[in-house]
Structure 1
Amino acid sequence: MASLLQGRLPISQDVLLMQKGTMMRKVRSKNWKKLRYFRLKEDGMTVWHARQVGGRAKASFSISDVETVRNGHESEVLRSLAEEFPLEQGFTIVFHGRRSNLDLVANSVEEAQIWMKGLQLLVDFVTNMDQQERLDQPGWLSDWFQRGDKNQDGRMSFHEVQRLLRLMNVEMEQEHAFQLFQAADTSQSDTLEGQEFIEFYKALTKRVEVLELFGNFSADGQKLTLLEFVDFLQEEQKEGDHASDLALELIDRHEPSESGKLRHVLSMDGFLSYLYSKDGDIFNPSCLPIYQDMTQPLNHYYINSSHNTYLVGDQLCGQSSVEGYIRALKRGCRCVEVDVWDGPSGEPVVYHGHTLTSRILFKEVVATLAQYAFQTSDYPVILSLENHCSWEQQEIIAHHLTEILGDQLLSTTLDGQLPTQLPSPEELQKKILVKGKKLSTLEEDLEEEEELETELEGEQEPELEPQFESETQELSPRSKDKNEKKSKAILCPSLSALVIYTKTVSFYNFTHSREHYRFYELSSFSETKAKNLIKETGNEFVQHNAWQLSRVYPSGLRTDSSNYNPQEFWNAGCQMVAMNVQTAGLEMDIYDGLFRQNGGCGYVLKPEFLRDTHSSFHPERPISPFKAQTLQIQVISGQQLPKVDKTKEGSIVDPLVRVEIFGVRPDTTRQETSYVENNGFNPYWGQTLCFQLLVPELAMLRFLVKDYNWTSRNDFIGQYTLPWTCMQQGYRHIHLLSKDGTSLHPASLFVHICMLEALGEVES
């Protein structure tokens, strides 16, 4: 089996040397360094490690887990060891999701280069492997063979196959399993090897429900003609008038045989390939690239925002790290937070104030922004500055921002003129905006610049105002004077000058904001304050967010870095709903689901009724300007669901599917199927769930697969979350994700989606 996979893997001298193994130091901190023997297995897909050469080895990671490989200079941990080892000997393996990085130090620069180049070659191979190759010959199939082949003789007996079936999460009658085994054993050796195992696996994964669907549209049961496939796309997939052109494209893309492509027919294999691909995914592929209008003002968009970005753990004693910024930016965050305090030797530091969290230099954070801000998206990054520094160190902050960011930093209005509305993401591409307090207005700044240019007047003394407000405070008009008197420091003019379109101001009430504030001024709200405003003055909040930016942040009581549900704040049009992105869970599933669309660029256009300053929409008493909708979801089947408890060889899941809808309060609901006993491999439900939605434009759908357990809460198996507006109708696959948001390939659900327009206006 390994040799079959090897034939398709890129083989280089580096990969061959990795398979021989290398002793390297595994590093967790300046004081934790352990020698370990790392070796790439023969399958080319997994790296194992042991305490010493010949020692008992265990799996360290799979190549498919790796996002990228970085050199030693980019690692905080390895830089702290620069006096002990040359940085060129170190490298960092970065994993998908929230798994901690693996820092390694080789015995020589040459050895480090071998592993860096070899790993990156394999990572690129896995990343570029197309869907059909993954179905035909995936790395995980080789891994299954090795796990089933208990005596490691390269052959699998029927007894080993029975054991493997339980490992694969399927309980099958012995007689049926033996029939599949015999049919695959073409050599009649009473064992399976190589291609025989692949044929056995294909028989095992045969999709009866897809065969039946294929037969409903195929006249001869052997193929779909072009016209038959067009009928399927129009009737079931709701593809509309362009179905004929689309059918030709899909046949060319998914039909494996050249003769089939020439004759414009689709075989059963081609049909399954289509259904299992991005074209047959529940997520509309037209919503994957940037498809929205990006020329509207910033306040018309939901903006992917991070809270306490520097933390990779909890808020009391967790680790502060630039890795938090790297991960946030690479996952599409466009608003990151920096809590900056006076540091030793005149250098400001970033950490969660008055706690035991570790500290990082502000200039390192800025350097990280300069490097990673626009790797995932070209659209602007907002630097939410929580400034607790003295005048002297504020000047250092301004110096670092200006010197390190250079042209990336927006330090004046785009054309030097006074704007009448916020600029668009399109206009602000590749720009970093500082969000914070400002000593003056843009009008005064521009007037002063004109005066300086004409040399009619000298430099003016800045008006004194209190330092940046902390997000732990919420001011009322009566407490304003008291807080001004308590202010310990004055805002430094050089830092104030860097705040252009995102000036923070205290919030008193919506009337005060309309009468006294400008469109480039914004307020921050704690989750509690924002919830109360939505409840008490929801329509005013919607109108406010149609002309001014708002930022919502988690309660200070969330010391474990837990998250709130972002949906209720999106319902009111709040743009920057800041999340602890390092904490996985339902709330981040919803968040990731919304920002999965539009190229993952971090900006999603709000519905039209949330962009209107005269909107009548109230998130607590919603009446949609559009028709209400009925959603019917038939949950048909599941494919290769992972085991929940991998430590128990005999345990098999009893899966059920829960469909959850998050939107305005009347739309927020859930329903679930019954559970299928002892089958995680190919469970069949065939159950239809029905939902009524008042405001589908705001709805998020979450498909959750759980392992039924009557003695306790059901255990999580996988999930997938997406916006209603990005959902495709018809027969669709849902490719499940882990708690961490990473792929659980090949685990999926097969469903049928039907949307119907409800009759008449519907009110809550």
Structure 2
Amino acid sequence: MNQIVNHQGVNLLVYGILIRIKMHKLKRTQIILFLCPNEARMIQMLDPLGTFNNYFDLTQISDMTSEEQHKLKIINQQGNYIKLYFENQIQLNMIREGLQYLIGEAFRIQKQLDSCNQIWSNALKLITKSDLDMDNRLNFKEFQFLIGELQIEISERRLIQLFEKHQKNSQLNEATLYKLLMEITRKHEIIQLYQKYCSKQEGLFDDPHNTMLMNAHDLETFFLIEQGQKDYKAQKQFYNFYDFQNIICNQENTIFQAKELDKSYPLTSYYINSSHNTYLETNQLTGQSSCFAYQDAFKMGFKCVELDCWDGQDGEPNVTHGHTLVNDIKFIDVIKTVREFAFFKDDNPAILSLEMHCSLKQQKRIAEILKAVLGDMLFVIKDYKQKQFATLLELQRKVLIKYKADEEFLSEKLQIRDHSLSLYCTQTQDDLIIQFEDDMDNNVQLKQFSKTLDNKQVKKSCRDILEITSLFAVSLKLNNNPDLVWVVSSVSEDKIQDTIKKSQGKFYDYVKNYFVRIYPLGLRFDSSNYDPFPSWTAGAHMVALNIQTKDIFMLYNYGMFLNSSYVLRQNCDIKMTIFVNILSASNLVWEDEKRRQQEIVDPYIKVRIAGNKEDVNNSEKWRTETIQDNGYHPIYNYKCKIQLKHAQQDVIYFQAYSYSLLGDSLLGQYCLSPLNLRKGYRIVPLLNSQLKPLNSSHVLVNIKIEY
């Protein structure tokens, strides 16, 4: 499908538009925005008075939102933002559509350059920033700035020597700069590998840009023998060393191997990527809630999301964290977000966990909204007596509603007349009558009692919601199985451990047919997380985490569900021995931009196992040496051996740190299941602290696997 172009918006950005702007942590000012004439992936920001000049990279934009009237917020991958203020909505839409087109073009150019030469591609964007006098040439100071931005640590004396060797009229043009950067950035650790598979050996580095030494058959042989890929097809006839280097360091050559998910099993056979208090952006007492939090959750692959439902004004229910300073968002807006984003990452079913605090009247409104907005997406139970839950395949692109069970309703559906139903319907603390102190004022007692009666009415089940519910919330009782497969039991993180210790065998049998959901303790006001693996290992299907907190446990969750939002539980142990050789790393830089300009990193790499207790206890704390003052291209050649007895219950994660006497700082991280590892020479694509991809930052490894 051809993209519709807003030519007026594109023209305004190409030729320049004067606009009010607020940059991250800076005051509002007036700026001229225009597409950089020398680099089509950059927008230049110029102060009309000439006192300020800056750029932002179109390929680094992660999101654009217009939640406030006439304001457009542009957010980059580091979480920094630029806010644009417009005269009217028409102008906002025009510029947004123009930006969307230019972003698409920027990524197209980036992809072409990456396939040609990744090193040169990265440098080109920085050259625009380095060329301070904008004459398309770099003098020594500008060249020195470029080397600093690339985090290449070279002494000034050596830098002067390199500059003098290639300069003309005390400047570097594009051609000489290309040759110089190729000389600096050559990855010597893979030269021998390249030579090993080249059928023609002479003249390797006399002219590395033009000399073709590896032919298509050579490259295909390399992928067959070293990478274990039988179906690799070369794209051209000859490859020089830099072509080979680019293939090794390309995003298509990552350590991760996607695998097809078997969708033929009942839903109770899978782990499900689950979130807690999904509406929150930060903490649970004073934090912001928004529909964008649900967007982010679905974009990250979360499929079970939570909606705390409370009465709102004008008969419209809200989603919020009750009895706190958290703001309200409209329930209908959340459901519209569900309709638009629930299947953003894949078609696996979404589960809406309704924590109900609404009056009966607003519960009926909730049912109306769910049916009107979601329509055919809603999964409605046809056979309540079914002995197994519906399969994952049957539930593709369906939305399941989780709601509190009602015995009278389910007895009717199951045609049990005496209501002797084994369902263990839940009772929350809010259901209990409030106790009064003897010395309380009578008027206060009356108000409190009235409030209690209202709460009792609030807790009545709504038949309209029950009719579209497919997961009925019940208490967890292991002695007798429920009479219904369409149930789920929610257990807190502390109680589940007691349950597993006392009745591990019964719990394991129970979760074969009935859902169990684990949630964080209510005392985690800061939205911190807990280790999900003890619950996963025991067989719990939904281990809900506070996704607004990107801690180590969220990294585990990332690795667990990297392949799919649903993971099939393996019934047999998988034993693996993994041989890892950490060869080198590239572009390890500080996340904070100011620190990046002031300080070079001292990086090292850690490898760890999380998951099954036996595998974790038997693993070592693998770590490379620290390389001083070289974040651009540190060489490690560090080898380790990882032995796993329960690989199906584990994740392996890599972390890059910078050493410091005052405390080491995280530079990048990555996590995946051992079952998704690819053998051979691969890159580990690093993520930042917010689990967002870091541009061109990776670790080069060689992986060998024995089963």
Q: Give TM class, smaller chain.
A: 0.7 to 0.9
Residue 662 of structure 1, aligned match among 607, 610, 613: 610
User: Are residue 629 (structure 1) and residue 576 (structure 2) matched?
Assistant: yes
Q: Matched residues in 1 for 2:557 and 2:457: separation?
A: 38
Residue range with higher mean Cα deviation, 390-399 or 711-720? 390-399
1:574 and 1:547 map into 2 onto residues whose CA distance is 11
Task: Tell me the equivalent position of 1:706.
Answer: 657
Matched residue SS, 2:295: helix
Q: What's the counterpart of residue 434 of structure 1? A: 401
1:54 and 1:538 map into 2 onto residues whose CA distance is 71
Aligned counterpart in structure 2 of residue 237 of structure 1, from 215, 227, 250: 227
Q: Specify whether residues 320 and 102 from structure 1 end up closer, same or farther in structure 2 by C-alpha distance, changes over 3 A only.
A: farther
Aligned equivalent of 2:642, options 675, 681, 691 = 691
Q: Output aligned runs, 1:34-45, within 5 Å.
A: 36-37=30-31, 39-42=33-36, 43-45=39-41
What is the distance in 1 between the residues matched to 2:217 and 2:35? 48
- The offset of 1:301, in angstroms, is 1.4
Q: In structure 2, how many angstroms separate the alpha carbons of the residues matched to 1:471 and 1:270?
A: 65
The 1:546/1:141 distance shift into structure 2, 3 A limit, reads same
- Confirm or deny: 8 A CA contact 1:398 1:494 kept in the other structure: no
How far apart in 1 are the matches of 2:63 and 2:495? 41
**Worse overlay, 176-185 or 332-341:** 176-185
TM-score (norm 2): 0.85
**Aligned in 2, Cα 1:114/1:364: closer, same or farther, shift over 3 Å?**
closer
Quick one: distance in 2 between partners of 1:548 and 1:177?
66
Aligned to 1:724: 674
The alpha-carbon deviation at position 749 of structure 1 amounts to 1.0
SS state of the match for residue 544, structure 2? strand
SS of structure 1 residue aligned to 2:479: helix
Alpha carbons of structure 1 residues 638 and 437: separation in structure 2 relative to 1, 3 Å: same
Match of 1:122 among 73, 93, 102: 102
In 2, Cα distance between the equivalents of 1:394 and 1:748?
A: 50
- In the alignment, which residue of structure 2 is the partner of 1:605? 568
**Which deviations, in whole Å up to 9, do the C-alpha atoms of 1:552-578 show, x marking residues without a partner?**
111112111122222222222222111
Instruction: Check conservation: 2:384, 2:414, Cα contact below 8 A.
Output: no
Cα distance, 1:101 vs. partner? 7.0
Deviation at 1:585, TM superposition (A): 2.4
- CA shift for structure 1 position 699: 1.6
The alignment partner of 1:511 has SS state of coil
Matched residue type, 2:143: V
Distance 1:528 1:365 in 2: 30
Q: How does 1:372-391 map to 2 (within 5 A)?
A: 372-391=341-360
Q: Does the aligned pair in 2 maintain the 1:644–1:653 contact within 8 Å? A: no
Amino acid in structure 1 at the alignment position of 2:374: L
2:117 aligned to which of 115, 130, 136: 136
Aligned partner of 1:210 among 190, 196, 209? 190
Aligned pairs for 1:578-597 (under 5 A) are 578-597=544-563
Equivalent residue number for residue 440 of structure 2: none
Q: Partner letter of residue 62 of structure 1?
A: D
Instruction: Report the Cα offset of residue 140 of structure 1.
Output: 4.5
Consecutive unaligned residues in structure 1, runs of 5 or more: 1-9, 79-88, 261-265, 452-456, 475-482, 610-623, 758-764
| Residue 189, structure 1, aligned to residue 169, structure 2 | yes
Q: CA deviation at 1:593?
A: 1.9
| Aligned position for 2:463 | 494
The correspondence of residues 312-711 of structure 1 with structure 2, limited to 5 A, is 312-413=281-382, 418-440=385-407, 444-446=411-413, 487=456, 489-508=458-477, 510-512=478-480, 514=481, 516-598=482-564, 602-609=565-572, 624=573, 626=574, 628-643=575-590, 646-648=593-595, 649-668=597-616, 669=619, 670-709=621-660, 711=661
Letter aligned with residue 703 of structure 1: F
1:494/1:92 Cα in 2 relative to 1: closer, same or farther (>3 Å)? farther
Question: Matches of 2:7 and 2:180 in 1, distance apart?
Answer: 31
- What is the Cα deviation at residue 639 of structure 1? 1.3
What is the CA–CA distance in structure 1 between the aligned matches of 2:162 and 2:296, rounded to whole Å? 46
Q: 1:103 to 1:230 in 2, by over 3 A?
A: closer
Counterpart residue type for residue 728 of structure 1: R
Cα deviation for residue 635 of structure 1 reads 0.9
The alpha-carbon deviation at position 66 of structure 1 amounts to 2.2
What whole-Å deviation, never above 9, does each CA across 1:162-197 have from its counterpart, x for those lacking one? 343233222224565455435544xx3331123332
- Equivalent AA in structure 1 for residue 687 of structure 2: L
1:40 corresponds to which letter in structure 2?
F
Give me the whole-angstrom Cα distance separating, in 2, the residues matched to 1:53 and 1:295.
63
State the Cα distance separating 1:665 from its structure 2 match. 1.3
Which runs of 5 or more structure 2 residues have no equivalent in the other structure?
205-212, 433-451
| Letter in structure 2 aligned against 1:149 | D
> Partner letter of residue 190 of structure 1?
S
CA distance in 1, matches of 2:241, 2:148: 28
Q: How does 1:4-403 map to 2 (within 5 A)?
A: 14-24=9-19, 36-37=30-31, 39-42=33-36, 43-47=39-43, 53-54=48-49, 56-57=51-52, 59=54, 61-69=56-64, 72=66, 75=67, 77-78=68-69, 91-93=72-74, 95=76, 99=79, 104-129=84-109, 131=111, 133-134=113-114, 136=117, 140-174=122-156, 176-178=158-160, 180-182=162-164, 184-185=166-167, 188-221=168-201, 223-224=213-214, 228-229=218-219, 231-239=221-229, 243=230, 246-247=231-232, 249=233, 251-252=234-235, 255=236, 259-260=237-238, 266-284=239-257, 286-287=258-259, 291-403=260-372
Following superposition, the deviation at residue 507 of structure 1 comes to 1.8
Give the residue type in structure 2 aligned to 1:511: N
What count of residue pairs does the alignment treat as equivalent? 663
One of 692, 712, 715 as aligned partner of 2:665 = 715
Q: Report the AA paired with residue 582 of structure 2.
A: V
Secondary structure of the equivalent of 1:556? coil
Change (3 A) 1:372 1:235: closer
**What is the letter of the counterpart of residue 179 of structure 2?**
E
Q: What amino acid maps onto 1:581 in structure 2?
A: I
Q: CA deviation at 1:547?
A: 1.5
Shift of 1:734: 1.3
| TM-score normalised by the chain length of structure 1 | 0.79
**Cα distance, 1:153 vs. partner?**
4.1
After superposition, give the CA deviation of every residue in 1:563-598 in whole Å (9 maximum; x if it has no partner).
222222222222211122122222222212222213
Letter in 1 for 2:600: I
Structure 1 CA distance for aligned equivalents of residues 269 and 317 of structure 2: 34
CA–CA distance in 2 between the matches of 1:409 and 1:503?
15
SS at 2:265 equivalent: coil
Letter in 2 for 1:676: I
Return the offset for 1:504: 0.7
The residue that corresponds to 1:750 in the other structure is: 700
In 1, the alpha carbon distance for the partners of 2:559 and 2:175 equals: 39
Q: Match for 2:541: what amino acid?
A: Q
Check the 8 A contact 2:136/2:173 in 1, yes or no.
yes
Contact 2:603/2:628, CA 8 A, preserved across alignment: yes
State the percentage of identical aligned residues. Answer: 27
